[in-house]
Chain A
Amino acid sequence: MTGFLTLFFKELLRFWKVSFQTVVAPMVSTLLYLLIFYHVLEERIEIYPGVAYTLFLIPGLVMMAVIQNAFANSSSSVIQSKISGNIVFILLSPLSYRAIFCAYVLASIVRGLLVGLGVYLVTLIFFDAPLQLPIWALLFVILGSAMLGALGLIAGIWSDKFDQLAAFQNFIILPLTFLSGVFYTVHSLPMGWQYLSHFNPFFYMIDGFRYGFLGVSDISPYVSLLVVTLCLAVLSTLAIYMLKSGYKLRT
């Protein structure tokens, strides 16, 4: 237990020591998105009856910040350690692969929660956006950031250089996020795209979180919960398998 806790606290310290970059910066950029979209679209679009566009957008942006930061936390930590070589200190230690997995993913959850909470609190200064069902919202933030933490671990282990990790981020994470309904409801899409959106696991994270936030969503929150939990289970299994087999870590 001490080993796991140490690695977990080390991972927390690692991002906390550069919190301006890891916590404050994402809060600022999310807020910029919000203010710009508010300025351009507020009067023109109403997605759910009686729900203003900004109110629809806020949970999407909060979850987007959670997703991106949870992924960035584990992936950048692993690749930095790999490239600088200090990952040997973890590999030489008797830490079990489960402890390593849990420490990285839990640190990702904490960063996701912190950034999400920060973004939400800042939006409250400008907009009246009460949380309707906080337990649902919290559940999706935790599951979503755990899923992205596990995916970040996989991406960090798989990448041999920063370039590959950036590709992972730009060609997988970013499109899946932008096409998941952060800025729009999938019901506004043509049928074909609506159908495709249902294969995007990020859609369920955002939609489930939006349910917790607004009390309304595109699909049943239970379906979203099931899909996100399944995705988390699959990604966790893969990440643990990679750690156990020493894939790209123990040559």
Chain B
Amino acid sequence: MLPAIEVQQVRKCYGALCALTDIDLTIYPGEFFALLGPNGAGKTTLISIIAGLALADSGQVKVMGFDVIRQYQQSRRNLGVVPQELVYDPFFSVREILKIQSGYYGISDNDAWIDEILERLDLASKANANMRSLSGGMKRRVLVAQALVHKPPVIILDEPTAGVDVELRQTLWAFVRQLNRDGHTIILTTHYLEEAETLCNRVAVLKAGKLIALDTTNNLIGKMTDSNVLRLKLDPDVVPPGLQALQISHVNGIAELRIENFEQVETIIAVLRTARIHIVEMQLQQPDLEDVFVHLLSNHRKDGA
């Protein structure tokens, strides 16, 4: 299968500081892909190189098989980018902006599709409003609309929900999910890990310009077995000696035990029953992407030190 995005050995340095070091990454058509990493990890630099906004020092990037430098016109036609900054042209109305953007892609008659995007992004009532008069959330939606005027097969959203209220976030994700179901490849960067966890099937984690993880969301979380935590409220409030090896903490009447697999729960209950300790409350905490993220970043720090 022809990759939607192919990044090979990409390096980008600003003087002595390298924003990206030898990045290899392949994203396939139809994927919903998350690019994660702390601030300054190189996410936006990587996206900029894919979009042609920045030039790599070395390496090669292709969008739908088209080299972003040598075949820039084809590669850009296949790509829609929602930039992180709320940028807009204050001279024009929403509809004018979308018509102009269509024209840049060589599409002169795009009214039907523009109406449809406006409708789906809940912008129809603002079609003739000047960009200056729109709220931040509205401007964000116009940016999404602008990225879609040419119906690109690959869509990149750089922090699309930063500073956006909950309602708009829901609308936006519903829309982006629909686009993904319609066959668009979606790549997003986000600070909200639960968004990446619920939406994306594959995740890459960048740290200081290096790719430190690349796997399916489930696999990454699955590897975090030591993060399964059983929280217990006991009566009497005592952890029997047989379980003390598993104990992480025991404060305010809550005992936390680390478990590696779910069969262990059975053993724990048996031990408690034997000790005649009654379970008042029981809660199983499973790892989420945030744990994976923290784990990866801290491990990487240790490795690097």
Contacts and interface: CB of A to CB of B under 8 A. Distances in A.
Query: Do the two shown chains form a genuine complex with each other?
Result: yes
Contact of B104 (A6, A17, A84): A6
Contacts of A85: 83, 85, 87
A91 B104 contact: no
A94 B51 contact: no
B70 to A, nearest CB: 13
Nearest to B131: A86
A7 B48 CA distance: 22
B90 A94 contact: no
Contact of A251 (B55, B76, B85): B55
Contacts of A39: none
Residue of A9, A18, A92 ringed by the most chain B CB atoms within 10 A: A92
Interface in B5-62: 48, 51-55
A13 interface: yes
A10 interface: yes
A89 B91 CA distance: 14
B293 interface: no
B220 interface: no
Nearest to A5: B103
Given A6-B103, A94-B105, A88 B55 contact: no
B87 A88 contact: yes
B77 interface: yes
A2 interface: yes
Interface in B163-207: none
B45 to A, nearest CB: 9
Contact of A89 (B55, B74, B89, B106): B89
Contacts of B107: 2
A85 to B, nearest CB: 4
A12 to B, nearest CB: 11
Chain B interface size, as a band, is: 20 to 34
A173 to B, nearest CB: 24
A3 B91 contact: no
Given A10-B100, A250-B55, A251-B54, A2 B146 contact: no
B55 A3 contact: no
Contacts of B108: 2
A96 B105 CA distance: 11
A136 to B, nearest CB: 36
B134 to A, nearest CB: 14
A84 B90 contact: yes
Interface string A34-61: 0000000000000000000000000000
A187 interface: no
B216 interface: no
B55 A246 contact: yes
Interface in A5-36: 5-7, 9-10, 13-14, 17-18
A133 interface: no
A92 to B, nearest CB: 5
Given A10-B103, A89-B104, 8 more contacts: A13-B91, A84-B87, A84-B88, A84-B89, A88-B53, A92-B51, A250-B52, A251-B54
19 contacts: A2-B107, A2-B108, A3-B104, A6-B103, A6-B104, A7-B103, A14-B91, A81-B89, A85-B87, A86-B87, A88-B81, A89-B87, A91-B53, A92-B52, A93-B104, A94-B72, A94-B73, A250-B52, A251-B48
Interface of B: 48, 51-55, 72-74, 76-77, 79, 81, 83, 85, 87-92, 96, 100-108, 146
Interface of A: 2-3, 5-7, 9-10, 13-14, 17-18, 81, 84-86, 88-96, 246, 250-251
